[in-house]
Amino acid sequence: MTVLEVRPDRPWQLLCPQPQEEPQQSIDTETDLLQRVGTGNLPPTLCLMRHPRCLVVTRREARMPNFDSARAELTKAGWPLAVRASGGSCVPQGPGMLNLSLVFPRVMDWRLEDGYRLLCDLLGEFLKSYGLSVETGDVPGSFCDGRYNLQVDGKKLVGTAQRWAGGRRDKAAILLHACLLVDLDLIEATTRLNQLYSLCENPQRFRADACTTLSECLGMRAESEPGDFAKEVEERLQGLLLDRFEIG
């Protein structure tokens, strides 16, 4: 399957909202889009977004022991927590992480694999424009590991997720999500992830060297202002979306 085979009845809209200050409100943007596309109140939607610095946990993780006290400690350290509806494990967010969401009415005979292949094809093409060759697969030690990571030299560069909503065919919608590590501080982010798990008596730990960033892959020096490079990458990805999708 390729991106061009996904042709909803209505043209897509492209949203590039400004980062919001409140992490939970920012993370809930996707849930709102999924509900509104499913009910037909919004057309199929492409969304490029960067969230404020935070750790985003699953609902299951929000039930870990000592979660409330861990949340208070990490918020004090400048890493507030937000809760998302999809599965996996905790993910860091911030100006150096670029999020791409595709939200559209459910396609007949759609499979989970179709969504992941769509994301991997699209992001693989985008990264090829930087001269990078990517592979798909698990990366042990990376946060929110999965079979459909995009990796460079064995390190995770893009994480993917998928969520379906609505039981009735005329009310069902699909959300495809990808997180591109642009210039996130992996050492600090991973340290905070492991701190959360330690405080919540979760034995799982992650390694900063299991992931990479686009800036690292390109041999760039660290940016003086986090997120500057992410703005350039966002504009470039926006151009690809405008070229590949019928946007009204």
Catalytic residues, by residue number, are: 144
Least Cα distance to 131 among 27, 214, 227 occurs for 214
CA 184 to chain centre: 13
Is 51 strand, coil or helix?
Answer: coil
Q: Residue 174 in contact with residue 163, Cβ under 8 Å?
A: yes
Q: What is the DSSP letter of 63?
A: G
Q: Which residue has the tokens 């459909």?
A: 148
Cα separations in angstroms, 70 against 62, 67, 76, 79: 10, 5, 10, 11
What type of residue is 87? G
Distance CA 234, CA 28 (A): 20
Count the neighbouring beta carbons within 10 Å of the beta carbon of residue 210: 19
**Residue 138 is which amino acid?**
D
Largest CA distance in the chain: 50
143 close to 206: Cβ distance less than 8 angstroms: yes
Collapsing DSSP to helix, strand or coil, 103 comes out as strand
